Structure 1
Amino acid sequence: MLKAFVVDNERLHMVDGLAANADKVVWVDLVSPTREEEQAIEKWLGVGVPTREEMEEIEISSRLYAEDGVYFMTATLPAHTDSDEPVIAPVTFVLAGKRLVTIRYHEPRAFQTFPMRAEKASIGCTSGETILVGLLEAIVDRLADVLERISRDIEVLSKEIFYPTETKASKRNVGFLLLLKQIGRKESLTSNMRNSLTTLQRLSGFLANATGQAKDGKDVRARVKTLSRDVASLADHASFLSQKITFLLDATLGMINIEQNAIIKIVSVAAVVFLPPTVVASIYGMNFDLMPELKWSLGYPLALGLMLVSAVFPFWYFRRRGWL
């Protein structure tokens, strides 16, 4: 799908088709483009556009490069971050003078909100450079919102781990299993965010160098510099969240081990408590003719009392030592 935008009074307006408005279009957004759409863009720009396989290459030289005065920049961006199955895929930004082309195969939220905002309000969209910077700012704002939500979710998980509401061991075990799944999802999402921010850091540095070569555009260079600082701070925050998630994972596994050790301790104590009575019962359960207490009238109550004392004494001793 091909979306073409023109600028009118520093606002974006989407137009129908590229051929009829080729001279006025400043931004073309390609979403899962066909080969015919790619050829139309290549004819419009005068250079070839990267394929999906080329966009997915991880070498920096394949993601950030210049060709005939046209700058190609690829970053990895997340989408569907509100669901349990977020999607992360590369997006390529092609800056050719005053024209901008974006190529993507998924739906990051910023590509929906930015055109709507730029159409309703004047946010300084005058050329491909300003549109690119505004789009990147919207992307960074979206990543910041996602990190804030992850931070709130981590606080909730922390309270559930260290201040459980369930008192029954069986329900706590089920709760720990759910917590492990939630921690795994948060770690996966945070890892994707760190990967995305890393690519944006490299992209912003490359873009700063590209805009620095222009004779004018001090405002654009200042915005790119601010963008770089914002991305760096978000990357640090994502690293902090990743460390905190790792701590919560270790804490959850520790809690599970404590629960298991408590169960094993109870079983071990029960075995020790009932072992002496079992020995007494085994002795007096033997069938020998010459047992002294066999015909003793007090033999039965004595055996019961001995079994009771041999069971109570270990229990009392464990309680006194603080093992129970």
Structure 2
Amino acid sequence: MAGVPSPFKSRKPKAPSPLPSRVRVPVERAIEHCRVFVDGVALPGEYTPAAAQQALREYGRGFVWVGLHEPDEHQMTTVAEEFRIHELIVEDAVQAHQRPKLERYDDQLFVVARSVNYRDHDEVDDKRQIISTGEVQMIVGGDFLITVRHRAKLPNLAYTIGEDQELVELGPVAMAWKVLDMLVDRYGEIAKLLAIEVDDLEEMIFTPDSQFDIDRIYMFKREVLEMKHAIAPLSDALSAMINNHKDLISKQIRSYLRDVNDHELVVKDQVKHFDERLTSLIDASVAKVSLQQNKDMRTISAVVGMWAAPTLVAGIYGMNFDIMPELHWAFGYPFAILIMVAVVGGLWLWFRKNHWL
């Protein structure tokens, strides 16, 4: 009706509520340590990155070591802005799926290495946890060292290494060398443990009439391959640090890195040798299983053959014919039994002579 307001008022659609902004975790959550080193000595206490930079300006010398644990993009960007780190380094540090490498950005070095951890196969439920790998990234500048840890099990490095005054006096590059040295030493320890396991597997496979689990060989083959892929590219990065960037790495540190590279090459060759030995063990175990199966089939065939002989005799004398040899003979039954025993005995002797039984 004209002039009468409708009882149903038109409703304007509500504007969609804005999505909640992503919560940014404070950068302090990702910082494991932030220490200032001056004249080879660590200043007491922990610092924020900004306070550490201020302390360096006040002393006019020294360097900062910041340790980060799995930072997100916001946290890493905040630290990068404080230390003027290249944006490409920030991207790699957050993604954390890098192979061991060395990259240079102006006067900064970005070093990536893999950590390797070993647990005995009897101690784990998931056999993929025997060898686990993590990632350690280091950003080395003139007055700072930033270490980023992803799934890597390491001690509190700033406190562990920072007690060595002579090493600290050599600056951030020396601290980065020490981290690499610790990682490679761990490679060597794990290689010794793997050597024991591979030796045990060889003894198990090549011992006559031994029972073995071929799945265990495949398991260690997979774990050795994982370690091989984790440590093999590091030698190229170490060679680049030794032969290049001499304006950033002193001659003394390069000599230390050369020693680390030698150890890494030794472990690399050992792991490669383990891989080859395990491949040979797989071939040997498959051949041994095939031989055992052939032996079992011969034994089964011999047993079936011995059972077939008395069955044949019983089948002949079980035929419904009235005129048959020895059918009405009083000793026919024991004679048939004697024939069966004699045939089975003869077959048994023949199979034994030919090693079928």
Measured against the shorter chain, the TM-score band is 0.7 to 0.9
The match for 2:46 among 3, 9, 15 is 15
- 2:176 maps to 1:135: no
Q: What pairs with 1:229-248 in structure 2 (closer than 5 Å)? A: 229-248=262-281
Given the two structures, how large is their TM-score scaled by the length of structure 1?
0.84
Which of the numbers 19, 26, 36 marks the counterpart of 1:6?
A: 36
1:189 aligned residue: 223
The answer (yes or no) to whether the contact 1:208–1:221 under 8 Å persists in 2 is yes
- Give a deviation string over 1:70-123, Cα, whole Å, max 9, x none: 222223333455554133244322222242222232123xx3164453244446
Partner of 2:97: 56
Contact 1:55 1:74 in 2 (8 A): no
- Aligned positions of 1:259-298 closer than 5 A: 259-298=292-331
**What pairs with 1:196-275 in structure 2 (closer than 5 Å)?**
196-214=230-248, 217-275=250-308
1:182 Cα deviation from its structure 2 partner: 2.6
Superposed CA deviations along residues 32-91 of structure 1, whole A, max 9, x for unmatched, are 113342122211221222345754256x8xx53222222222233334555541332443
Letter paired with 1:291: M
Q: Say if 1:117 and 1:298 are closer, same or farther in 2 by CA, change over 3 A.
A: same
Q: What SS is found at the alignment partner of 1:75?
A: strand
The Cα of 1:139 is off from its aligned counterpart by 0.4
How many angstroms apart in 2 are the aligned matches of 1:4 and 1:129? 17
Compute the displacement of 1:294 (Å): 1.9
Cα pair distance change 1:12/1:309, threshold 3 Å: farther
SS in structure 1 opposite 2:104? strand
Inter-partner Cα distance in structure 2 for 1:196 and 1:11: 34
Closer/same/farther in 2, CA of residues 189 and 6 from structure 1, 3 Å limit: farther
Q: Which has the larger radius of gyration?
A: 2
Equivalent AA in structure 2 for residue 194 of structure 1: K
Q: Name the amino acid aligned to 1:78.
A: V
Q: Which has the higher helix share?
A: 1
Task: Quote the residue 2:146 is aligned against.
Answer: 101
- Closer, same or farther in 2 for the Cα pair 1:43/1:50, shift >3 Å? same
The number of residue pairs the alignment matches comes to 308
Give the letter aligned to residue 34 of structure 2: A
Counterpart of 2:161? 118
Q: Secondary structure of 1:297's match?
A: coil
Partners of 2:42 and 2:296 in 1: CA distance: 65
Is the Cα contact below 8 Å between 2:242 and 2:254 reproduced in 1?
yes
Of 133-142 and 309-318, the range deviating more from structure 2: 309-318
Runs of 4+ in 1 over 3 A off after TM superposition: 8-14, 51-55, 79-84, 113-117, 119-123, 163-166, 321-324
Paired with 1:113 and 1:156, the residues of 2 have a C-alpha distance of 35
Contact 2:72 2:94 in 1 (8 A): no
Aligned partners of 1:12, 1:30: CA distance in 2, in Å? 18
Counterpart AA for 2:115 = L
Cα root mean square deviation, aligned: 2.7
Provide closer, same or farther for how the CA distance between residues 69 and 222 of structure 1 changes in structure 2, counting only shifts above 3 A. same
Q: 1:15 is matched by which residue type in structure 2?
A: E
More off after superposition, 307-316 vs 96-105: 96-105
Q: Read off the aligned partner of 1:188 and give its amino acid letter.
A: R
Residues 298, 123 of structure 1: alpha-carbon distance in 2 compared, 3 angstrom cutoff = farther
Aligned to 2:277, the other structure's residue is in SS state helix
Pair 1:28 & 2:28 matched:
no
Question: Is the Cα–Cα contact under 8 Å of residues 12 and 115 in structure 1 kept in the other structure?
Answer: no
Q: Which runs of 5+ in 2 are unaligned?
A: 1-29, 57-61
Q: What's the % identity of the aligned pairs?
A: 22
Amino acid of the structure 2 residue aligned with 1:145? E
Cα deviation, 1:12-44, whole Å, max 9, x if unaligned, reads 677243222223653222111133421222112
| DSSP-derived class of the 1:222 partner | helix
Structure 1 gap ranges (5+): 167-171
2:84 — aligned with what? 46
Map 1:149-164 to 2 at 5 A.
149-163=193-207
Note closer, same or farther for the CA distance 1:103–1:164 as it changes in structure 2 (3 Å cut): farther
Q: What is the TM-score with the length of structure 2 in the denominator?
A: 0.77
Shift of 1:150: 0.5
Match of 1:169?
none
Contact kept, 8 Å, 1:194 with 1:238, in 2: the verdict is yes
Paired with 1:290 and 1:277, the residues of 2 have a C-alpha distance of 21
Judge conservation of contact 2:299–2:356 (CA < 8 Å) in 1: no
Instruction: Give the distance between the partners of 2:192 and 2:156, measured in 1 at CA.
Output: 19
